[in-house]
Amino acid sequence: MNEDIYEKIDYCIITSSDYDISIVIYYLLKDNYRYNDKKRWEYLDNSNLWVHDINQERFKSSIKNEVCKVFIDRAIFWINRDELNSDRMSSKLLYIGSKLKENKYISILIKECRDFFII
């Protein structure tokens, strides 16, 4: 994974803002999802066709699984470091990762990151 994504994730430790977490979501999922001019979410299927993502189910699943995993992996990275505040950094990332499993919070993030995905 690109070092740039780790910088973005680590910045979320400082801010814990929905906006910054949405930037990470966009960075990780930008090639597979988009928000079109008909105000609908679409995903890229296995045939390289854009398909309507009804109720953003696939997008939500990607956040719950792929995005959450990256935050958890980064938390594990920090917990294994012998640095000042590494425990605190890991705890914050674990907290964000747990929030990424909550439907209500995911809905907030989807609204926040919609503008990033507009085509």
| pLDDT tens per residue, range 80-116 | 998 888 999 999 999 999 999 999 999 999 999 999 9
> Where does the chain show beta strands of DSSP type E?
33-35, 41-44, 50-52
Residue 104 three-state SS:
helix
pTM of the model: 0.94
Q: Tell me the per-residue pLDDT of 29-64, one tens digit each, with 9 for 90 and over.
A: 999 999 999 999 999 999 999 999 999 999 999 999
102: phi then psi, degrees, rounded to nearest 5: -90, 125
Closest by CA position to 106, among listed 64, 52, 44, 71:
64
Domain boundaries, the chain: 3-117
Question: How far is 55 from 2, CA to CA, in rounded Å?
Answer: 30
